[in-house]
Structure 1
Amino acid sequence: MNLPVRPFIGVILALTMAAATAAEPDADSELRALDQATQNLKLEMLDLEAELTDLEQDINYPAPRRWTVFFTVDPAMTDFTLDAVELSVDGTVVARHRYSDQERSALSDQGAQQLFIAGIDPGPHRVRVRFEGQWDGQPYRREQRFTVDKPEGPRLLELRLAPEVTVDNAGRNNGGPGLIARSYDDLP
């Protein structure tokens, strides 16, 4: 008996395709499960890294002495392009930073940069900040000095770049972009 070959091959192909299709969901679900497990592991690693960073800060900078300095930019600073900042505490330069386009963008989107963290004794401290950039297309440099009283316990100091800061700590008129220093309790 002569069977037609084409229909027979068609049936075999159809059965093979059905078997492969039936196997794919199992493989797909296994891949999805593996992908989900990988994502969960990544999240756990990020959580662990954050906990280790907190622990490291607690060990290196105990809460009674911890002092963190952040740099922020007022959203109204549209005519100023920040290039660099230098921070001195009690006469010692403790931080210098040159800004990339990406960092400037993050700061203009109300981001904050941790400029410095250390263990500092309670009491008054002299802070000097130099910054430079472009204001209305012209080079601009400014230095400001502050005296900050650090109480016992963890403390934050925000140095906020703002437009048209007109009076410095000595009461002198210094029109143009400048810094406003604000001190906050560091919440545990």
Structure 2
Amino acid sequence: MHGSQPLKGCLKSPKLLASALVILLSWVCIPGAGAATLDDRIDQLAAEVNDHSAKVEGLQESLLYPVNTRLTVFLTLETRKALDLDSVELFVNDRPVASHLYTPRERSALEAGGVQQLYIGNIESGAHSIRAVITARSADKDFVRREASHPFTKRPGALGVELKLGARAPDFEPYVSFTEWK
């Protein structure tokens, strides 16, 4: 039994052996072929995840913030270089709902005409008020703090309120104005 003995059953199916060898060599010799299809599949899955994410976000917004009760508050700068915005606090019906400290990058985006969504939430129809507390540095380098209030009546449907900040020369006294968007 020991020693060299003839191979009896190993060469019975040379086609099977050749097929196995071809499959093995193609798998070993072409490493990029499997990787390319894997990369394509990963890209496809990533696109599907992004698509589902967008759908979930839209569904979440429609469920959490129904159109009939939605209130959105946006911030813009009317006078681009007159204010160096530091922070904003926002109150709806004397309840704090948003606060933000501004980085230099965010300030420059607002100065370039950007619009910031400060708050999105739900309120019932009826009489309400928004109060904003702004801290900034004016163009003449004075540190200023301003409070402004805006009473409004919420009706069914989405309501957007623009909170516009500005300062007029020569004294650069900051002001806050509110504009309702239907």
**TM-score, normalised with respect to structure 2:** 0.70
Q: Which moved more, 1:88-97 or 1:48-57?
A: 48-57
Secondary structure of 2:67's partner? Answer: coil
Distance in 2 (CA, whole Å) between partners of 1:40 and 1:180 is 47
Cα separation, 1, equivalents of 2:40 and 2:111: 35
CA distance in structure 2 between the partners assigned to 1:143 and 1:149 by the alignment: 20
Instruction: Label 1:121 to 1:175 Cα distance change in 2 as closer, same or farther (>3 A).
Output: farther
> Aligned match of 1:90 in 93, 110, 113?
93
Match of 2:125 among 122, 125, 141: 122
Q: Is the 8 A contact 1:69 1:115 kept in 2?
A: yes
Provide structure 2 residue ranges, at least 5 long, that are not aligned to the other structure.
Answer: 1-28
Aligned to 2:180: 183
**Secondary structure of 1:177 counterpart:** strand
Is 2:82–2:166's contact at 8 Å kept on the other side of the alignment?
Answer: no
With normalisation by structure 1, the TM-score equals: 0.68
Is the 2:80–2:112 Cα contact (8 Å) retained in structure 1? Answer: no
Kept in 2, the 8 Å contact 1:70–1:116? The answer is yes
Partners of 1:39 and 1:78 lie apart in 2 by 44
| RMSD (Å) for aligned C-alpha atoms | 2.7
Cα offset for 1:51?
A: 2.2
Moved more, 56-65 or 101-110: 101-110
2:109 match? 106
2:148 aligned partner: 144
User: What are the superposed Cα offsets for residues 94-150 of structure 1, whole Å, 9 maximum, x if unpaired?
Assistant: 111111112112222222222111110112211111101110211011111111222
CA contact (8 A) 1:161 1:180 kept: yes
Alignment partner of 1:59 is 2:56: no
1:135 aligns with 2:138: yes
Q: CA deviation at 1:180?
A: 1.9
Are 2:82 and 2:172, in contact at CA under 8 Å, matched by a contact in 1? no
Q: 1:76-96 CA deviation, whole Å, 9 max, x = no partner? A: 320311000011111111111
Residues 40-94 of structure 1, C-alpha deviations (whole Å, 9 max, x = no match) = 55444333323222211111122111111111223x3203110000111111111
What's the secondary structure of 2:80's corresponding residue?
coil
Tell me whether 1:48 sits opposite 2:22 in the alignment. Answer: no
Q: How many corresponding residue pairs?
A: 152
Q: Is the 8 A contact 1:77 1:163 kept in 2?
A: no
Query: Retained in 2: the 8 A contact 1:66–1:117?
Result: yes
Contact 1:87-1:130 within 8 A present in 2 as well: yes
Query: What fraction of aligned residue pairs are identical, expressed as a percent?
Result: 31
> Distance between the aligned counterparts of 1:163 and 1:181, measured in 2?
15
Work out the CA distance in 2 between the residues paired with 1:109 and 1:38.
38
How far apart in 2 are the matches of 1:163 and 1:92?
Answer: 27
- Aligned twin of 2:14: none
CA–CA distance in structure 2, aligned partners of residues 155 and 40 of structure 1: 38
